[in-house]
Structure 1
Amino acid sequence: MRGTLTVILAGGKGTRLEPLTRDRAKPAVPFGGQYRIIDFTLSNCLNSGLRRILLLTQYKAQSLDRHIRRGWNFLSAELGESIEVLPPQQRIDENWYQGTADAIYQNIYSIEKEDKDLVLILGGDHIYKMDYADMVESHRERRADLTIGCIPIPLSESRHFGILKMDSDNRIVGFEEKPKETASMPGDPGRCLGSMGIYIFSTRLLLELLCEDANQPGSSHDFGKDIIPRMIPTHGVFAFPFRDRNLKSEAYWRDVGTLDAYYQSNMDLVEVDPVLNLYDASWPIRTFNPQYPPPKFVFSEEGASGQVRRGEAHDSMICSGCILSGGHVRRSILSPNVRVNSYSLVENSILFEGVEVGRHCRVRNAIIDKGVRLPTGTVLGYDLELEQRRGLTISEGGIVIVAKGTSPERFQLG
């Protein structure tokens, strides 16, 4: 894999995830308590033997930069390993990145300098496990010009994906970018073949195509809209069906681009048999782990009243530094350094790092961002009309999102 350079596109705004992306890029959004979304793509790279990575950032990248610096600084530059964060440098153009192809084009000098024969292009905002080495081997065996990772998706989701059509040899013979309607796969009337946004190019050809596209009038400078459709008639473009490393009965690949999809993907983790296996030692998901003490559960009786403070959690994920000081947690994910105080109930919720739930609170169906403090007696997620009056975001599925920096006084409205 030393002949392959990996480029990860991590500059998307993630507007459908606001307010979680109000202060951070989508790849830096926390996931599963202790991880960030970007950790899954980066872990796939390391587990696949890819250790030379360029990470292209753009939108509100400070949190992402800090996470990479803290949690992914163990690679050895002396051995040719590194994750290099590249913000927009405007070496070629005075504009921000205009599309996925333009993002690569504006970093063409960095790619040329690496002098690799293949370039693997990935997105940094999906949750999945995949051995990219299999895809690289397939690309080399076929002597392909471009290989595209693909996965079957419901027909109703076609408007969110690039849709492929391939022949019996997996050669791509048609490509539509986010069509409203499309034909189903042969023998599978309910699904079509969607692009995962994973591309392997022969480096020399990629650079030629990017230079041509940069001077193409009317181009949107995007792989799905411009580069790929123009390549299909004249080049060897092949599909690579997704090979899941999640070790479950069904392939796991999630686009957590909406609040409800993000919430559900997290809630999947607290099931008795989670669909995403985070406990497979052969395919570890790495991240930055802050130096917090182990989680603590407090159980006691209070004085003459005999009230019981029962700190306990059921069907939940509790990270380091958490204190359940007489509070009760059900089907929830508590990120590091969360405190749930006495006689409070948290259920079906995701609490980010540093959240504090005061005494006698009730919280359900909520996502609470970093550092928010709920005052004593707060009731959250039970009355959506009340949450609207408080100015909180409510997803289409009825999940209440409390943004970072929300003042405790907001919850006094009742």
Structure 2
Amino acid sequence: MKNIISLILGGGRGTRLFPLTKYRSKPAVPFAAKYRLIDIPISNCLNSGLNQVYILTQFLSVSLHRHITSTYKFDTFAAGFVEALAAQQTLDSTDWYQGTADAVRQNLRYIQQRGIEYVLILSGDQLYRMDYRDMIKTHMDNDADVTIGTLPVPREDVSGFGVVKLDENGRVVEFAEKPQTEEDINHYRTSPEWLRSRGLEPRGREHLASMGIYLFRRDVLVDLLTRYEHTDFGKEVFPSSIASHHVQSHLFDGYWEDVGTIRSFMKANLDLTTENPPMALDTEEFRIFTRPRYLPPTRMAGAMITDSLIADGCTIGSGTVIENSVIGVRCRIGRDVTIRDSVVIGADYYESDQEFQRKSPTTPAVGIGERSVIQGAIIDKNCRIGRDVRIINDSVTEQKERDNVTICDGIVVCAKNTVLADGWKLGP
């Protein structure tokens, strides 16, 4: 589809995902043992036949740029590209991106290329599988100016989303960003009968939320962003353009998760360890692409592993028990370790014996030391967890920080490069 360009928004500061975003942007956060969040929308694009992709970045974007450059390469004879565009000062603008619409506005020159008729705008921190060709068909069939991807959500979740009100043909007649009052929430209710007529079973979900996926006619998008100074699509662009443009809704009823908080990140990872995961990774139809690392197979010496994902290049010692957890690449786990309901992101490198010997005698090696216990925690990259360490939030504390270890939403998070000496314990 040479007449469509995809723009993936790299997101803001990612404060709700801190400390995972301490050294990286949200889309660069590792996910599911071997991927990064940005791999999801890029893979959806490539699987949908869309191979002209820009990623708009701003905060802590070095690792994201490195990942994109080393992963998504097109050969000389293959048309297409996946490129990262960093926020930059120009003669027209000297400011950082002020919102989703402003990010696109500051990069209009990249979509005003010859032959481009449509622009698909995506978020870089959502988990879902979607064939965008279905959304493009909805857009074409209805001769729309703008099409918004929408998802049915239960009433209790409405206040966290932009929601739409539709006419009988699925055209958006009203849009509200995160309605709070009972009156507003009731106003945006969608008839269960109408949802069923579109092949969607409500199951208590009678509101349609914006997924942050938008398809624009290129000329309409350029006009809206140059005529007005709107900075956000949900808060300003859609509410003001519905009266003057044909804004259509495209219904989606598959798995979709906004990974915006530590709790949602943890849940999305651990959901993949279940017997019937909501988003299966082992499918040929819609593969998730990422950087090839050429690592050796994981070696397990008498360990017991249940309902878990284990990436390549790991070594797991005898007597170790891993349950309902995600273990990332190059993870070295000692003997008699217990890991439950946790995400261990792994390491960027293997530490050689010579490198380890040069460090202080009290500094543990990269990985998880013998007899340590980790439960309900996220261990970021390159952490050095010593022997007999205990990481369990026994007191069910919601927020706390100590020794580069943070408790967020009741989940313990060890930031990247954290060092915990032998015998370190969290809790009373």
The equivalences for 1:8-407 within 5 A come to 8-73=8-73, 75-76=74-75, 78-91=77-90, 92-113=92-113, 115-181=115-181, 182-183=185-186, 184-187=189-192, 190-214=205-229, 219=230, 221-242=231-252, 251-298=254-301, 310-326=302-318, 327-354=320-347, 356-384=367-395, 390=403, 392-396=405-409, 398-407=410-419
Per-residue CA shift, 1:224-275, capped at 9, x if unaligned?
A: 11111111111111000015xxxxxxx2000111111110111111111212
Report if the CA contact (8 A) 2:26-2:37 is conserved.
yes
CA 1:180–1:222 in structure 2 vs 1: closer, same or farther (change >3 Å)? same
**How far apart are the structure 2 equivalents of 1:363 and 1:114?**
55
Contact 2:191 2:206 survives alignment (8 Å):
no
Q: Which moved more, 1:384-393 or 1:157-166?
A: 384-393
| Amino acid of the structure 1 residue aligned with 2:221 | L
* Aligned AA (2:373): R
Deviation, 1:330, is 1.3
Amino acid of the structure 2 residue aligned with 1:85: A
The two structures have a TM-score, normalised by structure 2, of 0.87
* Alpha-carbon spacing, 1:190–1:282, altered in 2? closer, same or farther (3 Å): closer
Q: TM-score, normalised by structure 1?
A: 0.90
State the shift of 1:77 in Å. Answer: 5.7
Work out the percentage of aligned pairs sharing the same amino acid: 37
> Aligned letter for 2:214?
Y
Aligned-partner Cα distance in 2 for 1:68–1:213: 32
> Residues 411 and 140 (structure 1 numbering): CA distance in 2 closer, same or farther, change over 3 Å?
farther
My pick for the range that moved more, 86-95 or 193-202, is 86-95
Q: What is the distance in 1 between the residues matched to 2:317 and 2:390?
A: 18
Question: Cα 1:359–1:81, aligned 2, differ >3 Å: closer, same or farther?
Answer: same
After superposition, the Cα gap between the structure-2 partners of 1:385 and 1:347, relative to the gap in structure 1 and judged at 3 Å, is closer
Structure 1 residue 285, shift from structure 2 partner: 0.8
| Paired letter, 2:82 | I
Deviations 1:72-95 (A, max 9, x none): 12x246443001211012222111
SS at match of 1:113: coil
**Change in CA separation of 1:329 and 1:159 when aligned onto 2, cut-off 3 Å:** same
Checking the alignment, whether the CA contact within 8 Å between 1:90 and 1:106 is kept in structure 2 is: no
Change (3 A) 1:57 1:411: farther
| Kept after mapping to 1: 8 A contact 2:404/2:415 | no
Structure 2: 5+ residue runs without aligned partners? 193-201, 348-365
DSSP-derived class of the 1:49 partner: coil
Question: What CA deviation, in whole Å up to 9, does each residue of 1:116-135 have, x standing for no partner?
Answer: 01111111110000010111
Which deviates further from its counterpart, 350-359 or 314-323?
Answer: 350-359
* Distance of 1:213 and 1:155 partners within structure 2: 33
Secondary structure, in 3 states, of the residue corresponding to 1:343? coil
Give the distance between the partners of 2:72 and 2:148, measured in 1 at CA.
27
Q: State the secondary structure of the residue aligned to 2:113.
A: helix
Contact kept in structure 1, 2:24 and 2:61, CA below 8 Å: yes
- Computed over aligned residues only, the root mean square deviation of the Cα atoms, in angstroms, reads 1.9
| Aligned residue type for 1:54 | Y
**What displacement does 1:390 show?**
4.7
Q: Compared with structure 1, are the counterparts of its residues 205 and 410 closer, same or farther at alpha carbon in structure 2 (3 Å cutoff)? A: farther
